[in-house]
Amino acid sequence: MASDDRYFSDPAAVPPGETAPASGAADRPGADGGRSGRRKGLISALAAAGVFAVLLIGYLIDLGVTRGEIERGTEIAGVDVGGLTPEQARKKLDEQLGSRFAAPVAMTVHGTAVTVSPAEAGLTADLDAAVAAAGTSSASPIARLTSFFRSEQIPLATAVDRSALTQWLSSVATSTDIAAVEGSVSKKGTKIAVVAPVTGLHLEVDAAATAVAVAWADGGPDAVTELALPVTEQPVRASAAGVAAAKQKAGTMLSAPVAVDAAGTDAKLSVAQIAAAMSIKPDAEDGFSVTVDVARLRVPVTDAVEATQTEPKDAVIALVDGKPQLTEAITGRKVDWPASERALTAVLAQKDGRTWQIAYTTSDPDFTTARAKALGIKEVIGEFTTGNFVWASGQNIKTAAAKINGVVVQPGGTFSLNDATKPRDAAHGYIESGIIQNGKADKALGGGVSQLSTTLYNAAFFAGMRDVEHKAHSYYISRYPEGREATIFDDVIDMVWANDYPTGVLVQTIWTENDITVRLWGTKQVEVESQTGERYNFTNPPQTTVPYGQSCNPSDGSSGFSVDVTRIIRDLAGKEIKRETKTTVYNGQYQVICEPAPAPPPTTAPPATTPPATAPPATKPPAQTQPPGQTPPPVTKVPGPSLPAPPPQN
């Protein structure tokens, strides 16, 4: 045997103490007479026979052992039944699956948990069929060999009673289906009523039955439990979010009354009034439109709010207690309803600060407070007084003086006495009084107003106003300062002066039964001095003869003369600014001669027996009356020149 072991060893190995044969000697055919090759063949045959014998024995043993058993590696519904007899497999399946397939199955149908007994729903498991499907082991050597390396999954045989399943699902639908409910938001008085929307859900019974049957067949109870049953939604228009938003908006609008702030008015909108003007309607999407008819809502407060409107009023400088007093201007304001309605909409959208601020547009007056203050009417800048008028003239002076009392002459403006006092007629309170007509005394409506003209002229003279237009009387009247007086008559003669200063002038008149005073208020700009020269260029009085039979008041007349008046204007520091000299030429007052009565014709003496006629007494023209307080100037009784008739003078 030792000599044979070398054939199962590495042929390159050489036993110790021996010499290796020459290269190729052992391999040559016939070198050892063929003995080596025969040995190898025999050994290989014996080895193969041994392996076969072992395999055969193993096969026979395995065949004998597994005969009638289910093939190893076989699982039914996850239960290993390989190597078990059908009876054993049936028992094992019953132990591990029977109770599970028969136990109630929990499912959720559109949010509702339901439990079903498989038997009630027609869902059963056929354990015998499953075992039969598994079969028993095969006698095939190859099957016997591969059984050691394979596994086989055999589903559990199931059965579905479609009618029972459909009936059960129909009952589930009846108890779990959700009817659709349309959401709504409405008002009831001052409260908000809400119906929450509900989306309808309907179990599709036929589709659900098919899905359950397939799941039961594929995975049994576990698959059915995990199954999502087909459900059809029945949508509604309004969403829960849309309903909630409308409820919140409407609730905010009705959360509290709204105070109205309109220049201090205490008007208020009640919750009931707001609710009456509110409207809640479905919108074009999934919610509701909550609106308030602000035009309607403003109706209850319109009168109170519009009562706060004001027209612009100019500032007024008026005489109060003999002094100028400023009444400030008023800015006009008008309710801006469009802007106010937008503001109300914003207020209704909030719970806090529920005060409605009324919006206004404003308009400034033409004569603002600032302009009035800038006029600087604060002190007397010129004043003059005249008197000694008769009653009728005094009434006309009073009427005209009232018209100019309080007049303000703006900087750069002019004052016309005619413009301020016309028309001087009976309809406007004037009466007849003395005037100068054709150089002689006469009467007319408004007579005597020239005394107001003279008084105002002198006040303006000493205030430094610029003389624009004035005319002295045609003959001198002693109650006036010579050379500083001004007559007036309708549109023929006017007295006009200009205010060239940067501040305004207010005219004040003070009338009494004895005199008239004119005071000019403003800001004193200059000091004025008047210098009156001596009379010169005297003239004889003109003469006029009134025919016999006409009304006649004889008068000696008066001499005419000329006189110069110089106005010196200085600044407030005493520096002379300018001098102005005006010459006034007075005509003499007419000498009125009343023509005497013609001489009577000669008569024949009657018989002596007839008494002589008695001659009528001679008549004497009435004497001329002189106005009170006037002293006529010296008169030279010589015929004067014939003068053109001057215009009428008041």
Write the pLDDT tens digit of every residue in 270-297. Answer: 999 999 999 999 999 999 999 999 999 9
At residue 434, the pLDDT reads 67
At residue 498, the pLDDT reads 98
Residue 313 token pair: 């009023």
Give domain status of residue 502, yes or no.
yes
Nearest CA-CA partner of 280 in 411, 214, 187: 187
Q: What is the DSSP pairing of strand 414-416 with strand 496-498?
A: antiparallel
Dihedral in degrees, nearest 10, Cα atoms 102, 106, 107, 113: 140
Residue 649 DSSP label = B
At residue 638, the pLDDT reads 35
Q: Which of 236, 257, 291 is the last residue of a domain?
A: 236
At residue 450, the pLDDT reads 94
Give me the CATH number covering residue 273: 3.10.20.800
- Residue 385's φ and ψ, nearest 5 degrees, are -135, 140
* Higher pLDDT pick, 8 / 54: 54
Give domain status of residue 65, yes or no.
no
Above 90 in pLDDT, residue 66?
A: no
Q: Which of 236, 254, 287 is the last residue of a domain?
A: 236
Give domain status of residue 424, yes or no.
yes
Residue 234: which residues within 8 A CB-CB, separation 6 or more? Answer: 179, 180, 199, 200, 201, 202
* pLDDT (tens digit per residue) in 424-469: 989 998 998 867 766 566 677 768 899 999 999 999 999 999 999 9
441: β partners: 436
Q: Are residues 175 and 299 in the same domain?
A: no
Residue 602: which residues within 8 A CB-CB, separation 6 or more? Answer: none
What's the rounded mean pLDDT across residues 344-365? 95
Q: Are residues 282 and 417 in the same domain?
A: no
The Cα–Cα gap between 133 and 127 comes to 10
Give domain status of residue 636, yes or no.
no
Our CA angle for 593, 596, 597, nearest 5°, is: 155
At residue 273, the pLDDT reads 95
The Cα–Cα gap between 44 and 3 comes to 18
Burial environment of residue 316 by CB neighbours within 10 A (0 to 12, 13 to 18, 19 or more): middle
Q: Are residues 406 and 487 in the same domain?
A: yes
Give me the CATH number covering residue 104: 3.10.20
CB 157 within 8 A of CB 130: yes
DSSP string of 58-85? HHHHHHHHHTTSPPTTEEETTEE-TT--
In the chain, pLDDT over 70 holds for what percent of residues? 81
Give domain status of residue 174, yes or no.
yes
Q: Are residues 326 and 470 in the same domain?
A: no
Instruction: Report residue 50's pLDDT band, with 50, 70 and 90 as the boundaries.
Output: confident
Instruction: Report residue 4's pLDDT band, with 50, 70 and 90 as the boundaries.
Output: very low
What's the rounded mean pLDDT across residues 493-507? 97
At residue 34, the pLDDT reads 62
Nearest CA-CA partner of 385 in 285, 482, 458: 458
* pLDDT (tens digit per residue) in 566-584: 999 999 999 999 999 999 9
Residue 385 token pair: 């007084």
Above 50 in pLDDT, residue 632?
A: no
The Cα–Cα gap between 381 and 500 comes to 14
Least confident interval from 30-34, 57-61, 287-291, 561-565: 30-34
Tell me the average pLDDT of the chain: 83
What's the rounded mean pLDDT across residues 522-546? 96
At residue 299, the pLDDT reads 94
Q: Are residues 475 and 511 in the same domain?
A: yes
* Higher pLDDT pick, 109 / 607: 109
| Cα atoms in the 13 Å half-sphere on the side-chain side of 501 | 24
Above 90 in pLDDT, residue 133?
A: no
Q: Are residues 232 and 251 in the same domain?
A: no
Least confident interval from 48-57, 209-218, 325-334, 610-619: 610-619
Above 60 in pLDDT, residue 232?
A: yes
DSSP string of 625-647? P--TT--PPP---SPPPP-PPPP
Q: What is the number of domains present in the chain?
A: 3
Domain coverage including residue 454: 376-594
Q: Are residues 466 and 573 in the same domain?
A: yes
Q: Which of 210, 236, 262 is the last residue of a domain?
A: 236
Give domain status of residue 275, yes or no.
yes
What's the rounded mean pLDDT across residues 642-650? 54
Instruction: Report residue 151's pLDDT band, with 50, 70 and 90 as the boundaries.
Output: confident
Give domain status of residue 423, yes or no.
yes
Q: Are residues 431 and 308 in the same domain?
A: no
Residue 310 DSSP label = B
Q: Are residues 364 and 505 in the same domain?
A: no
Among 357-371, 542-556, 634-648, name the most confident range: 357-371
Give domain status of residue 114, yes or no.
yes
Q: Are residues 472 and 390 in the same domain?
A: yes
Q: Are residues 407 and 513 in the same domain?
A: yes
Above 90 in pLDDT, residue 155?
A: no
Instruction: Report residue 149's pLDDT band, with 50, 70 and 90 as the boundaries.
Output: low
At residue 512, the pLDDT reads 96
Above 70 in pLDDT, residue 29?
A: no
At residue 646, the pLDDT reads 54
At residue 601, the pLDDT reads 79
At residue 375, the pLDDT reads 96
Q: Are residues 299 and 187 in the same domain?
A: no
Above 50 in pLDDT, residue 640?
A: no
